[in-house]
Structure 1
Amino acid sequence: MAGGTLDCWPLHLFVGDCVTVNLAINVMTGCELDFHAAPNIEIEIRDLNYKKNFADITSLLRCPDKELLLAQKILEYFVPKEGFVLTTFSQSPVGGGLGGSSSLCISLIKAFNKSNGRSMSTHEMVELAHNLEAKVIKSPTGTQDYFSAILRGLNIIHYKADGIKVEPVPYIPDIFSNNMILIYTGKSHHSGINNWQVIKSVIDGDERTISALKEIAQISAEMAIVCRQQAWDKLPELFRSEFDSRIKLTTSFSSPEIEKLRKIVMQEGAQAVKICGAGGGGCVFVWADPSRHEGITETCQKSGFQVIKMQPVKANQPF
């Protein structure tokens, strides 16, 4: 909801103590893992329509298919001794900015931990996941999406020099399900590219980028206060302010598809548009009075955009 990019080390160290605000939704990922005595391995990635058999783990790790990158990094870490059948799925569009790859990474870590009787704390899983995913995208990654996948609910995540702390916030799900529309622009994004551009600019001392990052940190701090106070009527103004600050951070945050969508929904009476993830494409959510939802949804679909059904997921709520 706010503060994305600040969760990429070492950016939060340049702006002082800061927070991100993250809401879990029921756009799901998951996996099934079944071991057997023989060394052969079967991998199925349903959302990518990918299925392949391998004689053993060595042949799997040597396979150049890009669809296998995340699974390969997971397997390099766990090094299973037996063969297995692994099936994964993700309901998030590829490059949707919903943290789908991060969520799937957590799903895989949980599955392999369970198979070998290993237990990890939340912070241990987050540390492992963001390091493995950095290997996949060959770029620094943030960490807030992993917390959402593990803990669910609405969380204020504090980033300080001495570590990360999570503050769960109670809320009524109807506030979000009644006002929020999730829309896929049809163009995927690459979070690693946008994040690296920002990190490089900050380290190079670019004053415009640093100033924009500080604005985002301030908006995120205000968002945290709004969530604690449940002053939900203040959300649209903060979403609009964050949009403006993110454009200053990197011009690639928006895209022609996002600008077209933004124009359409604002004409239909939306109050604000929030770009998900690192931007450049992917999903946005639209904040609007419930009376405007039907018109916004119909107009977006006629314009070629995909409306994704979603509901917020509270902490400890079964998926």
Structure 2
Amino acid sequence: MTEPIVARAPTRIDFAGGTLDIPPLYLFHQPAITINVAIDLVAEVAVTRRPGRAIRLFASDQGRQATWPSREQITWKRQPFLEMLARLIQSLAPDGGLDVRTDCQAPAGAGTGGSSALAVATAAALAAVADLQVKRSTLIEYAKSIETQAIRVPTGYQDYYAAVYGGASSIEFGLTGIRRTVIAEKAFLTQLERHLLLLYLGKPRFSGANNWDLFKRHIGGDHRTLALFDALQENALAMQRAFQSQDLHSIARILNRDWETRRRALPTMSSPAIDQLIRSLRRAGAIGARVCGAGGGGCLALIIEPEARATLIALAKAAGAKSLPSVVNTRGLVVHRGKENFQVST
């Protein structure tokens, strides 16, 4: 066997503007932007050539595996949870035998874009093995399209941009395309890290269900849903200004406002237990809080007073939540074989 090609892509914390990234909804709320920060809970994929034509997939984060006699014989009917990975291998793998090993540090259903980061890393690793030169924009479209096929509901763009580029991003969805802007440099991101706390609530959920509900209501012209999207747009623009001003207290305030906007509009995004935990954490030193992604469980992101970290983690643990690393990832997608780095073109 040859040396494996390894790709790593970060997940993210969404600060504002999530759901505005789903096409074509963003066309109706211009300017539409999403603000997120990539974190070092990474998805990692290693692809190794092997003799013969058989392809073996080891999804260690799911505790699942599959073997197919060849790329042409790949199927996911008996293992639907592996459909996204199987589709990526089927469409991108070169001829010949492969071992594909995947892992994602973000818990399943965390709301931090783990499956999208995994799609990006898998596509990048397979492209490198096949000696394909793939632009970042093409990689984003490919990963998004395959994941959409697998989950069968519309997906937004923001997770793929965080996975490919890393850092703190303002992603603008305009009439002629998508534009990403860096909205915070390393010095401020280091300061932000000191005030970030990420908690896993231990309640995995399918985020696509909430987003699909909003999508249908929006396309159907529901007035309350249209008003919600207008409020999400306003929150995202305010969050962009807060990041540009490097104002942590404004970031926390808008994080709270965005969470309340979402929670009122879609009650399934929260629960009495989540509401109670957020109230307790705010009394103990959290100044901003919202559930990541489309809600319903998963991860809770907080802006905190640094000296309260230990107390907040203890409170969360007593409530059954687990703290996760929230180091900001500024590298984005990295692909290498041994000491050889593969550059993903712009």
TM-score of the pair, normalised by structure 1: 0.95
Unaligned runs of 5+ in 1: none
Matching of residue 248 in structure 1 with residue 264 in structure 2: yes
Higher strand share: 2
Aligned residue for 2:132, secondary structure, equals coil
Contact 1:17 1:161 in 2 (8 A): no
% identical equivalent positions: 25
Per-residue CA distance 1:237-271 (angstroms, 9 max, x = gap): 10111011112332222234422321221232311
Shift of 1:36: 2.3
- The C-alpha deviation readout for 1:160-181, integer Å capped at 9, x for no partner, is 1111000012332222221111
Distance 1:103 1:316 in 2: 10
Match of 2:255 in 1: 239
Larger mean CA deviation between 268-277 and 198-207 belongs to 268-277
Say whether the 8 Å CA contact 2:110–2:299 is kept in structure 1. yes
Q: How many residues align?
A: 319
Residue from 155, 160, 184 that aligns with 2:200: 184
Structure 2 equivalent of residue 57 of structure 1: 71
Does the alignment pair 1:314 with 2:330?
yes
Measure how far apart 1:316 and its partner are: 6.5
Q: Deviations over 1:61-106 (max 9, x none)?
A: 2552123111112123225321110100000010100110000000
Matched residue, 2:62: 48
Where do 5+ consecutive residues of structure 2 fail to align? 1-14, 336-346
In the superposition, the TM-score normalised over structure 2's length comes to: 0.88
1:56-135 mapped onto 2 (5 Å cutoff): 56-135=70-149
- Distance across 1 between alignment mates of 2:304 and 2:225: 30
Q: Structure 1, residues 10-44: CA drift from partner, whole Å, max 9, x if none?
A: 11112122111110100011111011230112211
Residues 261-272 of structure 1 aligned to structure 2 (within 5 Å): 261-272=277-288
Aligned counterpart in structure 2 of residue 163 of structure 1, from 164, 170, 177? 177
| 1:202 to 2:218 alignment | yes
Contact kept, 8 Å, 1:208 with 1:248, in 2: the verdict is no
- Structure 2: how far apart are the matches of 1:183 and 1:62? 33
CA distances 1:271-310 after superposition (whole Å, capped 9, x unpaired): 1212111111110111110111111101111221111122
Give the superposition deviation at 1:231: 1.9
Q: Select the structure that is richer in helix.
A: 1
Partners of 2:194 and 2:95 lie apart in 1 by 48
Query: SS at 1:117's partner residue?
Result: coil
Secondary structure of the corresponding residue to residue 301 of structure 1? helix
Q: CA deviation at 1:226?
A: 1.3
Runs of 4+ more than 4 Å apart? 315-319
Distance 2:198 2:296 in 1: 16
